[in-house]
Structure 1
Amino acid sequence: MPTDAHQKVMSLGSHTGDAHRHGRHVRPRTWGRTLLALLIACGLIGGGLYAAMNFIGLDQNMVREKCMAVVGSESYTLSPEQASNAALISAVATKRGLPERAAAIGIATSMQESKLTNIDYGDGAGPDSRGLFQQRPSMGWGTEAQVMDPAYAAGRFFQELETFDYSAMALTEAAQKVQRSAYPMAYAKHEGMAKAFSAPLTGNAVSALNCTLRAADSAGSPAKVEAALREATGITNAVVDGPRLKVPAKGKQGWAVAQWAVANAGVMNTESVSYAGLVWNRAQGAWVSAATTDGYVIIQSATP
């Protein structure tokens, strides 16, 4: 007599035989589990990518800091350090009563000589050349400490520029007459950039200078901003009001100050600059419409 185990085996064989006789193949029922596993894997990958993208978006180290000036259909980019020095050169020119053209010549010259950075070594002009304009103490430009002071160096450059009529000269010719470089035509290639930055920095272009910056890593100092503004522009009636600096200004002067402040936002840890119905802030990196204080440029420092 067959045992129960034997009957189960016989029964299984019988079903299998029926399946073969009817042309059907018996497959393990694993496709459902495979599909589920694939869906879970895709979900995990998609979630991981989404999280990574959001992490990158929030990672401030991925932000490329830059300052941009636009003139017509052309745009030019400088680093925040370079933009700050371009702003100082333009401010010194304005303080001396010089036109935008002089500021453009100064910016182009410094770009050629030092990449608009205050370097403490000679960069081809001579073994003792220093600073924004690579001025040489041995050639009568001042002491080493003086030519390393950006405000002094810019003032000294313009002092020399004012000794002749540069207004009718090509930019590279005017720069060469001051610098007496071994490469007299080298300044010409920086003319477009210099004009693009000198226009807003002298107040002749409205909201044409923007900076893209990371979030400030420390608090700014309105007192420090006031001191820098006073040295560069000669403005002495700015008022510190908590984390803000209020600068009385109107029209062209207001836009020169406002865009000077944007160009210096990186080095000064400035959060926003507002003037004449517009505000620039770090979060957007652009000028947008906003309520502003009439007759004042408001420079808001970053807070802890």
Structure 2
Amino acid sequence: MHPNDEVKRESTSNAGPIRSAEPPSDDRLTGRHRAPGRRNPLRRSPLRDEGNPPSRIRSAVGSTPVRLTLVTGITCCLGFVAFTESRAATTPTQPLHAALVDTAALADRAAAAEKQAASRAERVAPPTPTPTATTPTPTATAKSKAPTKPAKPKPTKPAKPKPVAGLDQAQMDNAATIVKVGVKLGIPRQGLVVAIATAMQESNLYNLANPALPESLDYPNQGTGYDYDSVGLFQQRTSSGWGAVADLMRPAYAAQAFFEALLQIPGWQQMSVSGAAQAVQVSAFPDAYAQHESRATTIVAALV
């Protein structure tokens, strides 16, 4: 239908059909203006149209259903384009092709960095670790492996016994030496009391030198005595065969000489303290030893 037909129809909707005053035209091939009985010289026969595809396409496009279809398709395309543009305006993302380009570029850069790092690792030797303060050096190791001499224990002085029975420290020390020697020799307690009582009577438990033997003055002593050539705790005489002056001036030697002589007395253990002491010393005052028995027993009890 020609567009002018729509205008004329609207103007004469209530008056009935009105024919156009325009004469029929040979140029119009469709619509009611076509002259009846006349043939359009420009229209080709169906046989010729079969060999001319463009004319068939134009005739198909000119039909109303095809036009409606094209309009609908164009409208849909315009709507899709408008939706895409609005989505792109509200979404702060870059276009797909740009994102793909950036991703590919980043991947290429990462691969190049890995190759460069691998090549550097192959060329450069790993760094040598620096020794720390805790790592021993060869010199320190050699020193540590050197054998060390064990430290010698310092000799400790035995505690001095406290004096008892009215003795002073020098007397108590001499009594302790006598008891120590007797215990070492296995002398019973009775023999220890005999030895302490004898030393109390002979020297009052002091290590005495004698001017009659000038040599005795050269050794450590605690005073002097004047009984012939007697020296030491037990006033033993070198002329009687008790030993050399140097030996008799040592309290330990003098005590051992007395105990050895006591052991030579038969039945000394059944004797009294005074009788056993006199059997060893052969003194001019045999009963003098008995006065020291009580104190000697107290001293031995304090030391043993």
**TM-score after normalising by structure 2:** 0.41
The higher radius of gyration belongs to 2
Structure (1 or 2) with the greater strand fraction: 1
RCO higher in structure (CA 8 A, sep ≥6): 1
**TM-score after normalising by structure 1:** 0.41
